[in-house]
Amino acid sequence: MERIVRILNQSGLQTRQYMDRKTGDQKVINSVVLKLTDGTDTFLGEITGERAVNCPKYDPQYIYKVQCSMVVREWNSQQTGEAMQATTIYVDKINMV
């Protein structure tokens, strides 16, 4: 998905642990979350990994072109053990227009 957006909010660098399904090892992922709007829809886009660690502070006064991918994540709730699903939007590219 590609959109022309304005950045409404940007989180600081966040670090969270997760369980690697293939190896069973605990791993850490870095992320920065952007609240974006195209004037009609508002959505959260996540920048992950090394790109999150090196993510600049984006200026909300400017307009950006973002290229995003959507992925359905599945996990089990730590509280109930219930299978959970959510669609996560990852920001693959972002450039000032």
What are 63-89's pLDDT values in tens digits? 999 999 999 988 888 889 999 999 999
With pLDDT > 70 as the criterion, what percentage of the chain qualifies? 100
The Cα 82–Cα 76 span in angstroms is 5
Q: Which residue has the tokens 């909300």?
A: 60
Q: Can you give the pLDDT at residue 19? A: 81
Q: Can you give the pLDDT at residue 30? A: 97
Q: Vertex 6, ends 64 and 87: CA angle to 5°?
A: 95
Model pTM? 0.83
Q: Can you give the pLDDT at residue 73? A: 85
Quick one: average pLDDT of 41-59? 96
